Structures are given as structure tokens and as C-alpha cells.
């Protein structure tokens, strides 16, 4: 039995590692090209992104390559009558399937880890690389397209000479109730300070419009803005999808405290209105903003609770795919690995992913509990066990 186990694991690992390397490389290149196009990155920035984009590429590649390896190996073994020979020798097909299942468990745990670091460490690393290179990115964009814009800053120039911006027009959107600021100058320059996290914009000889107020400056003015406000990646995300697994307990406690705070403020306003006799403060409309904030905070709490379940479900899709792929490949007896893979993957594509996405959307809306994101995994696993039962009995 040990010989069979070593043989199956050796065949699976060879196909899995080769396919994983090829698919990861492809997805890595696609991810880097996408970031380079969106951010205007140079070669040094692209090279710096590789460690951070790699986990993102691998987390999508691992489940598919695990299914590909199982479909390829077991399809070939069945087509060459190796499974039939084992049955003739009195050995159950489980002797070749259980090593694949054990390997899938290990790969699933690795996939959970990849899902975690890809959305926490990886995305944050990409953001830091982009923000630290924002000066070069802006200059590169202005040389190529004569314009650069984010939600809070817009720059348009007539030309770029070295580090000088010729006849720039800069528009700042401070946000809130502050009026927009527009600066038109004869020339300007940018200087980023990564340590301080700021970008200094120096303008010479121009005009400033602050709302309806206009001022002329013949000399030099400077404006210092945070790097994350002028980067298209923005500041660190507060989305639950980018919280590290180790921080979910803390994030959940903080969100519960935030919800309590909003509800206490709303209750306090109503109580104060009753005490002071100002009944207009006790109507629902008076505390509607606080109620809306509490509702949004509850929605975010739901996503925080759901996210660990989703990552574990994503990771253990590898095991579910093996439970389906192995018996299907044995039943089809097809040595063509591409045919075996696509015939195994098509039902998964039509069943697993729609059910998984349905579970995620329902949990986010609050209509189902967080474990419902495992519906796709459970359905595929049950289907796989039924196929496995039929293979063993044949």
C-alpha cells in the first residue's frame, strides 16, 4: 500500500507543481500588467510589486491546478486500466483516492493561508509600493498624457521638462464643506517625502481660486498634501475583506462597541429632548443620521463575521474539487488530460461558484448566517461522495 501511496502522490505532485507554476506565472504577469497600466508604474516599481502580487495570483491558481492534477492523473490511470488491475487484485479504489484527499487537505490549508495574506499583506504591500512611488507615477503620467487625476487632486499641464511642469492647472477637492481650490501657474514642481508621507507641490507665478475668491501670486507658493490622497490606491482600506485573520476578533469587538456608541447617541438625543421638553428632538427624523450610521455599522459587522468563513470555504474548495474530480476522472476513463479536466470543471463551474456567490450575497444582506457561505462546498462534497460511492461499488 505504501508503494501505491508514493506512486499516486508522486504523480499528483509532478502535475500539480508544473501546472501551478505555469498558471501562477500567467496570472502574475496579468496582475502586474494591470497594475502597471492603471498606475503608470515603471520597471523598478513592477519588480517591487512581485512579492505582493504573487499570493493573489496563487490563491486563484491553486484550486484549479489541484483539480487539473487529479483529473489528469486519475483519468490516465483509469484509461490505462490501472484502477481495474487494482480491483482485480482485491484492492479498493480508495487506496489511490485517499492519498489525493490527504494531499488536498494540506493544499486546502495552504490555500486558506494564501487567501489571508493575499488580501491583507499583499494588497497593503501593493498600496505601499504605489504610494511610495507616487512622485514618479505622476511625472510619468503627465509626460505621457498631460494629465493626472484622483478623487482629491487633478493636474493638467502643457508639457513636462525634466522635473518642471509647464503651465500646470491644479484642482484640489478638500471634501466636506471646504470649497475647491484651483491653482494655475507658469510652472510647478513636485517633491515627495516617503518618510513623512507627504507630497509638496511648489507653484510659481500664477493665480489661486478658492471658491469665488481669486488671488494672484507672482512669487512661489507651496501646498503639502498626504501621499495617500494623491495616489490612486488611496489610504489603507478598512474593508473587512482586507483584515488579517489574526485581527478579526479585535475588529469584531471594536465594531460592536461602535454600534453601541451610535445607538447610545441616538437614545441620548431622544432622552435629552424628553427632559428639556423639546419634543421635536424625539421624532425619528431627529436621530435618523445616527440610526443610519448604526445600520451601516451593523452591516459591516456582518461582513466581518462572514469573512473568516468565506476564506476557509475558499481554501477548502481544493478538497471539494478533489472529491468530485477523482471519481469523475475514474468513471470517464479518458487519457486526454484536457478533456478530463474540462469535463470535471464544467459541473463545478455551473454548480459550485453560483451557489458560493449566492451564499456570500445572502450572508452580506443578513438573510442567512455566516456558515451559509459553505453551501457550495457542502453541495459539491456531497456530490463527490456520491460519485466516490458509485466508483467503489462498480
d(CA 254, CA 111): 28
The rounded radius of gyration (Å) of the Cα atoms in the chain is 29
φ and ψ of 126, to 5 deg: -60, -45
> pLDDT at position 341, please?
82
- Cell numbers at residue 52, please? 505582493
Residue with cell 491583507: 120
Give the angle 274-276-281 at the CA atoms, nearest 5°. 55
The answer to whether the CB of 164 falls within 8 A of the CB of 186 is no
* pLDDT tens string 111-162: 999 999 998 888 888 888 877 788 888 888 888 888 888 878 889 999 998 8
Q: What is the pLDDT of residue 17?
A: 94
Would you say 159 and 135 are in contact if contact means Cβ atoms under 8 Å apart? no
pLDDT in tens, 329-380: 888 887 677 777 888 888 888 889 999 999 999 998 889 999 999 999 999 9
**Residues 6 or more apart whose Cβ sits within 8 Å of residue 198:** 192, 224, 225, 226, 227
C-alpha cell read off for 119: 488580501
Closest CA to 379 of 299, 303, 321, 300: 321
| DSSP output for 258-309 | HHHHHHHHHHHHHHHHHHHT-GGGSSGGGGHHHHHHHHHHHHHHHHHHHHHH
- Contacts with 308 (C-beta within 8 Å, 6 or more apart), sequence order: 245, 248
**What pLDDT is stored for residue 211 in this prediction?**
77
Full DSSP string of 189-223: EEEEETTTTEEEEEEEEEEEEETTEEEEEEEEEEE
Q: Domain coordinates of the chain in residue numbers?
A: 2-133+303-393, 151-230
Residues lower than pLDDT 70 in the chain: 1, 38-40, 175-177, 232-238, 277, 279-286, 335, 394
Amino acid at each position: 500500500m505504501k508503494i501505491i501511496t508514493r506512486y499516486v502522490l508522486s504523480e499528483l505532485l509532478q502535475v500539480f507543481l508544473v501546472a501551478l507554476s505555469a498558471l501562477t506565472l500567467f496570472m502574475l504577469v496579468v496582475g502586474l500588467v494591470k497594475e502597471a497600466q492603471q498606475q503608470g508604474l515603471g520597471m523598478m516599481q513592477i519588480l517591487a510589486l512581485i512579492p505582493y502580487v504573487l499570493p493573489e495570483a496563487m490563491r486563484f491558481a491553486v484550486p484549479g491546478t489541484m483539480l487539473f492534477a487529479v483529473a489528469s492523473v486519475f483519468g490516465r490511470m483509469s484509461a490505462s486500466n490501472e484502477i481495474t488491475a487494482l480491483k482485480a487484485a482485491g484492492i479498493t479504489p480508495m487506496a489511490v483516492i485517499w492519498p489525493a484527499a490527504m494531499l488536498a487537505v494540506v493544499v486546502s490549508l495552504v490555500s486558506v493561508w494564501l487567501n489571508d495574506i493575499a488580501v491583507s499583506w499583499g494588497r497593503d504591500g501593493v498600496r505601499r509600493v504605489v504610494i511610495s512611488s507616487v512622485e514618479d507615477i505622476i511625472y510619468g503620467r503627465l509626460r505621457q498624457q498631460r494629465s493626472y487625476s484622483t478623487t482629491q487632486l487633478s493636474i493638467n499641464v502643457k508639457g513636462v521638462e525634466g522635473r518642471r511642469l509647464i503651465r500646470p492647472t491644479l484642482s484640489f477637492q478638500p471634501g466636506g464643506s471646504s470649497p475647491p481650490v484651483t491653482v494655475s501657474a507658469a510652472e510647478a514642481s513636485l517633491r515627495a517625502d516617503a518618510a513623512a508621507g507627504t507630497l509638496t507641490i511648489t507653484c510659481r507665478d500664477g493665480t489661486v481660486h478658492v471658491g469665488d475668491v481669486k488671488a494672484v501670486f507672482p512669487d512661489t507658493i507651496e501646498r503639502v498634501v498626504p501621499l495617500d490622497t494623491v495616489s490612486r490606491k488611496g489610504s489603507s482600506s478598512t474593508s473587512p475583506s482586507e483584515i488579517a485573520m489574526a485581527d478579526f476578533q479585535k475588529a469584531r469587538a471594536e465594531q460592536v462597541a461602535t454600534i453601541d456608541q451610535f445607538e447610545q447617541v441616538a437614545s441620548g438625543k431622544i432622552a435629552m429632548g424628553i427632559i428639556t421638553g423639546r419634543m421635536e428632538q424625539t421624532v425619528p427624523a431627529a436621530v435618523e443620521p445616527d440610526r443610519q450610521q448604526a445600520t451601516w455599522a451593523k452591516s459591516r459587522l456582518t461582513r466581518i463575521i462572514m469573512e473568516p468563513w468565506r476564506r476557509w470555504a475558499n481554501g477548502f474548495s481544493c478538497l471539494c474539487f478533489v472529491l468530485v474530480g477523482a471519481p469523475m476522472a475514474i468513471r470517464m476513463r479518458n487519457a486526454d488530460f484536457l478533456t478530463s479536466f474540462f469535463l470535471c470543471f464544467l459541473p463545478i463551474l455551473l454548480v459550485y461558484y453560483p451557489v458560493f456567490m449566492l451564499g456570500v450575497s445572502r450572508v452580506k444582506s443578513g438573510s442567512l448566517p455566516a456558515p451559509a457561505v459553505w453551501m457550495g462546498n457542502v453541495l459539491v462534497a456531497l456530490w463527490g461522495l456520491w460519485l466516490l460511492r458509485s466508483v467503489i461499488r462498480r
